[in-house]
Amino acid sequence: MNGLHSFPVTNTAAENRWPGSSRKMCGRTACTLAPDEVSRACSYRNRGGQRRQPRWRDGDTDKYQPSYNKSPQSLSPVLLSQRHFDKNAPVDECVLASMRWGLVPAWFKENDPSKMQYSTNNCRSENILEKKTYKDPLIKGQRCVILADGFYEWRRKEKDKQPFFIYFPQAQGTSHEKTEDHPTSPACNKENSETVCPPEEASHDLTEGGEAPGEWTGWKLLTMAGLFDCWTPPGGGEPLYTYSVITVNASPSLESIHDRMPAILDGEEEVRRWLDFGDVKSLDALKLLQSKNTLTFHPVSQLVNNSRNNSPECLQPVDLKSKKEPKPTASSKMMMSWLTSSTPSKRKEPNTCGSKEESESKKVQCRSTGALHQWLQGANKKPRAK
């Protein structure tokens, strides 16, 4: 992959307003870690037992922009096998790439991918083998893992839609361990979840050759199964890499919000098997796509309804009963714990300040402190120096 396309990344009016209007799920995510943090959060053990840290494809760190409110057509961090780009790479080597959300099939004949007549943001697991758009990349082994802090989903209630932020429970020292199903635990409560434990400070260093000295113990990224494809304009030009998030029936803990959920890959072994298109054949890989009762959530402000709103308030928990101003929960306290204990020097600022000129005038308000960090610490608190 030499790079991405020159087509504009835009959102339709419908996407900007109500992503849940057609009851299609997973139309928004948040991914707020800086590129180097995403890489550390994706460290894995190779077949020799060494912990490795995936590198970004050349130039893709500049394409990826952390955001509190990512919508379809935006670029997201995606983990995949390096063998898709280098057939001689080790079978277990992974790489990070920035790909556009909304799969454009390789056989699409128009010159402009925005002319596609149907949505490919999500792919129903039960229909993968029935639709050429998804069957082709699956047969080619083009499986990937979409990374995010979590995703937003809307629960219908009469004429209103209440958004929720949904993510992995955060527990100390378990960033890469398989999460057990806890249908009755506080972390999977159907109304809200607030009981989580603060993780330890993350390891920042990297040994020679890309080996990570220890597991990432910061925010545990959500790992969603997906398919990707590579489309080249009929008239020639730069290839466009795009993906679709695979969905399954909602788990018991989430069915009160929506009837679908992303296919979650829980733990390093499931991620490894999904990405290993050489040894793990397509039909065996599909068996990994199960509803998992492992996610937690909290309600958030309707500010997130409009994808143009890209601020920390999108993630802030709200009290649905009191209707008062949002206030921190146990979950948010956990977030604050690890964010304040380890402030990376290379965090990339989410684009919440508009143009460069506006950015300069609003420098104080738009600090490069990452998602959740700004609203948890407060606007006037500075992050601790590394």
Is there a catalytic annotation at residue 126? no
Find the catalytic residue in 15, 26, 37, 366: 26
Q: At 171, list the tokens.
A: 């527990």
Is there a catalytic annotation at residue 158? no
Q: Which helix (DSSP H) or strand (DSSP E) does residue 146 occupy?
A: strand 143-148
Strand pairing report for 160-167 and 67-70: unpaired
Spatial strand order of the sheet with 160-167 comes to 67-70, 28-31, 150-157, 160-167, 296-299
Find the catalytic residue in 37, 153, 215, 270: 153
In 3D, which of 6, 5, 24 has the Cα closest to residue 14? 24
CA distance to 83, 94, 113, 312, per residue, from 103 (Å): 20, 21, 9, 28
Q: Rounded to the nearest 5°, which phi and psi values hold at 187?
A: -70, -10
Cα(292)–Cα(271) distance, rounded to whole angstroms?
14
Q: Assess contact for 365 and 379: CB atoms under 8 A.
A: yes
Cα(20)–Cα(257) distance, rounded to whole angstroms?
11
Looking at this protein, which amino acid is placed at residue 340?
Answer: T
319-325, long-range: CB < 8 A, 24+ apart: 320/162
User: What is the set of active-site residues?
Assistant: 26, 153
